[in-house]
Structure 1
């Protein structure tokens, strides 16, 4: 290994126990300031840790390892179901419901059922940009707003909801409405065009300028159909092809989003497609919730086991 990597050689400590301690210790307290912040061998070597007897170390490591195994298995299930969802979306969003369509046609976005249309998003929806943090928008009200970090692929993560000070005019302009389809402006390539449907669970709630809000015309386009298409292979390809790209980063603007071409079946068929994909999405959401719970359990166990707050019977 080179001099940018540091190894900890266990002395009177079980390797697995040392590993879990290292993941819980705040290394930021040891950082040396400078043009390139770093930690050195002396600082790490002088870090204090509570060291129970070897048998207890083994038991603590075994407990935490069992939780890690459960986390890994749950993540594996999520990954597998994501593959199923991807295949299902590819089939339903390009060929429609199984057995319904006999004739297909070639279009600018690929083959679709002959009875479907191809439309630009701006023809069946209204695209709104979000609020930017600046003095012009500042006011007396402090309201929650969605950032790119909140908008995940198929769901909205509200665990960390930040606030912004705004004036009354900004509230009316940037407030989200239930049924708005959220699309991220960009960032890492995997975040480009990522989106979900806002359910109105927090009200009022605004959206920042890196998150677009799309209000669909209810008689033409269902919000979840648009959201699923945006995250499909065809949708992602459009966003990547249209994006302004720099090293590891990509972004789209509101004009490019408005020009997104989407396949448009009847509203009834859209609803049927949504129902099938949503069954798989619900399974993913449940598994993600279970994963979050396991992660919380692990953090709680580490906080009491590695500090001696909770003692365990040693492993021989």
Structure 2
């Protein structure tokens, strides 16, 4: 341990408490409530500045709920999915349900934000000490006995300040991404229904569209539409071969190259008629149906595993425009109306080819629409890259600063 640091367990410098839930059958405990009440699912907010629920004074008095102060550490004791072990810190006074532990620290020993980052970095550890998977859970005793390495208080504050600054960059970048994604969605809806510079419109099966546009089925604008390989191919997976595109690899911004499986070359050659070429469009057949991407140079000759593949007639439609239409909210909603399957939606080939789209006769207009939308996508991708880099930086800083590997100057 670094000089000047000490190892204490949480209960040596904190008071631990749990919340409660007023009876949901008594409206007087909830109706017009003004006291914030937090459920375990909201711990994912990390910094609790607002809550979704409120209780009344009567609800507070007649339940195990307790009002906890600002800068209380919160740990989800249980919850669905990945909730258990999630850590947050309050920026408001609030109450919580019984599935959340509150850690109120002695600020003369521990700086709350430092403990927040310390415990937040130990998510996997918290889940493992709570009993693993299934319905395992944490409790106040387990949390109270967790060891924490504490540097001198001024150093705790400096470390927390550095990590908070990084968090602010992450939060602001995410806000910019969200705004751009909303802008792209609105721009896509505008351009794919009204086009560019049109003044005359007509009614169609798909609603109002520019007078010069036409409504066509997918099979009418494509030379070929087919489904990818559907046989079991695990034994043909190799380290280096032909890329195999799965439905989960298809994203609106392109194919996720990082997780592609490689397929035996000889096996792929036997099914060459199903291979995709540069300019083809692959579409999710099961899962996030409708999501589509254009095949680039690197994936020329790749195979798709149960993907819906389209080879467009380039004299009628630009491949990137075709993909943008398939990625639109309107198209996906219409596709979902014809899906089949129990639990997991499947978009069958026979239904897919009959789906309608509205198409500008002018390829030039299609290309202009694509250019506008791709520009927005590129800006979003740039910000996502920045977000990923900043998140990696934070992870490295936490590893260095919270262990004393790198000391900060106070």
User: What's the TM-score once normalised by structure 2's chain length?
Assistant: 0.66
Question: 1:235 aligned to 2:331?
Answer: yes
RMSD: 2.8
Match of 2:159 in 1: 60
Deviation at 1:108, TM superposition (A): 0.8
Question: 1:273 aligned to 2:369?
Answer: yes
Mapping for residues 1-316 of structure 1, pairs under 5 Å: 1=19, 2-11=97-106, 12-25=109-122, 26=124, 27-33=126-132, 35-98=134-197, 101-125=198-222, 126-131=224-229, 134=232, 138-139=235-236, 141-142=238-239, 143=241, 144-158=243-257, 160-163=258-261, 166=264, 168-170=266-268, 172=272, 175-187=275-287, 191-201=288-298, 205-209=302-306, 211-244=307-340, 250-266=345-361, 267-314=363-410
Measure the CA separation in 1 of the matches of 2:110 and 2:186: 48
Measure the CA separation in 2 of the matches of 1:166 and 1:39: 47
Aligned pair count?
305
More helix by share: 1
Contact kept in structure 1, 2:254 and 2:293, CA below 8 Å: yes
Contact kept in structure 1, 2:237 and 2:261, CA below 8 Å: no
User: What's the TM-score once normalised by structure 1's chain length?
Assistant: 0.84
Measure the CA separation in 2 of the matches of 1:132 and 1:304: 47
Contact kept in structure 2, 1:30 and 1:44, CA below 8 Å: no
Measure the CA separation in 2 of the matches of 1:167 and 1:176: 14
Deviation at 1:251, TM superposition (A): 4.0
Shift of the 220–71 alpha-carbon distance from structure 1 to 2, 3 Å rule, reads same
Measure the CA separation in 2 of the matches of 1:304 and 1:132: 47
Deviation at 1:102, TM superposition (A): 3.4
Shift of the 180–38 alpha-carbon distance from structure 1 to 2, 3 Å rule, reads farther
Q: Name which one, 1 or 2, has greater alpha-carbon Rg.
A: 2
User: What SS is found at the alignment partner of 1:285?
Assistant: helix
> Please, which runs of 5 or more residues in structure 1 have no aligned partner?
none
After TM superposition, the runs of 4+ consecutive aligned structure 1 residues lying more than 6 A away are none
Shift of the 51–286 alpha-carbon distance from structure 1 to 2, 3 Å rule, reads same
> Please, which runs of 5 or more residues in structure 2 have no aligned partner?
1-18, 20-96
Contact kept in structure 2, 1:118 and 1:262, CA below 8 Å: yes
Q: Over residues 122-157 of structure 1, what are the superposed CA-to-partner deviations in whole Å (9 max), with x where a residue is unaligned?
A: 2222333334573x5622634443344432233333
Shift of the 150–22 alpha-carbon distance from structure 1 to 2, 3 Å rule, reads farther
Deviation at 1:81, TM superposition (A): 1.8
